[in-house]
Amino acid sequence: MPKRSRPTSSPALAGTALLEALLGGWRALTRLEVDGFAVQRSRGVTRRANSVVPIDPPTDPDSLDAALTRIEGLLAAAGESPTFRLFSADGLDHEPVRAALEQRGHAAGPRVHILLRPLVDLRAAPDPRAAITVGSPPEDWLEASWRLAPRSEDGARETLREIMAGTPAIYLALTDPASESRETVAVGRAALVPHRRRTIAVLDQIAVDPGRRREGLGRAVVRSLLSPAAIQGADLALLEVETGSTAARALYRGEGFTPSGEYRYLTRP
């Protein structure tokens, strides 16, 4: 991937641009535009890739109600119930959609925080234990990622591969040089999402061997992803973290990430 010229400042990311950067970092296998909503489907693997997201929803209550009815009907025909993903951030007002969904019996789940970190003038170098690949997910990285963070959905392994292959990314694996097997003990990914003349790095798939936690491996993964992302031209990094992930939130705060919004999933019980 060709390097892009580095900007001298890191403009903020808000509104639909923020939303599309997050969607681009974890790109659903199919996306259907329905009355201002993005209906995403990926064989049921991960809520992020199987959620309905307002992009430019109708403001008129009757038109909004008709759009929601149409979306529910489309997914019901496929034997599915919609999961809506509603954002609260600068330039995004999904409150009318939330109110309409709650009237239909949908309930909101826990908050997921969106964190942001500028990458301009980043000086940190990758950890010397890090193996870094740019492009499509390498097989050894996929194997290690699955071992550290398996999923239970049918066909999840192949579906995750296809989701990640949808956006060029940086794939990082940390190995233990003291181990005879040199087994991977932590992994991470930074999707490189283009936005106009910018590149946004969206970090995800950060996983650490449960037996090796509290050794600073998660911090090493994050730091080691930011440096090559900046080299690839990214001027901003984004990530998502759930409210209950106290240790992860503290880690990201310590690495310079600050709140930029949040979202919730709404489903019908």
Instruction: For residue 180, name the pLDDT band (cuts at 50, 70, 90).
Output: low
Tens digit of each residue's pLDDT (9 = 90 or more) over 190-236:
999 999 889 999 999 999 999 888 899 999 999 999 999 999 999 99
How many Å apart are CA 247 and CA 115, to the nearest integer? 14
Q: Are 91 and 15 in contact (CB under 8 A)?
A: yes
Is pLDDT above 90 for 178?
A: no
Predicted local distance difference test score (pLDDT) of residue 125: 84
Q: What span, in angstroms and rounded, lies between the C-alpha atoms of 134 and 118?
A: 20
Q: What is the CB neighbour count within 10 angstroms for residue 9?
A: 8
Task: For residues 146-160, give the mean pLDDT.
Answer: 95
Q: In Å, what is the CA distance from 194 to each residue of 2, 19, 30, 114, 123?
A: 13, 13, 19, 18, 23
Q: How many other C-beta atoms can be found within 10 angstroms of the C-beta atom of residue 101?
A: 22
- Contacting residues for 31 by C-beta, under 8 A, at least 6 apart: 38, 39, 40, 41
Confidence label for 7 from pLDDT (cuts 50, 70 and 90):
very low
pLDDT at 9 over 70: no
Comparing 163 with 195, which gets the higher pLDDT?
163
Per-residue tokens: 21: 């950067």
Q: What does the pLDDT look like over 91-148, one tens digit per residue?
A: 999 999 999 999 999 999 999 999 999 998 787 788 999 999 999 999 999 999 999 9
User: What's the CA gap between 231 and 233, in Å, rounded?
Assistant: 5
- Is residue 191 within 8 A of residue 167, CB to CB? The reply is yes
| Beta bridge mates, 171 | 133, 189
Average pLDDT, the chain: 93
Taken in order 179, 181, 187, 189, the sign of the CA dihedral is positive
Share of the chain above pLDDT 70, in %: 94
Tell me: pLDDT of 2 over 70. Answer: no
Closest CA to 204 of 190, 192, 217: 190
In 78-148, which ranges are continuous DSSP H helix? 95-103, 139-148
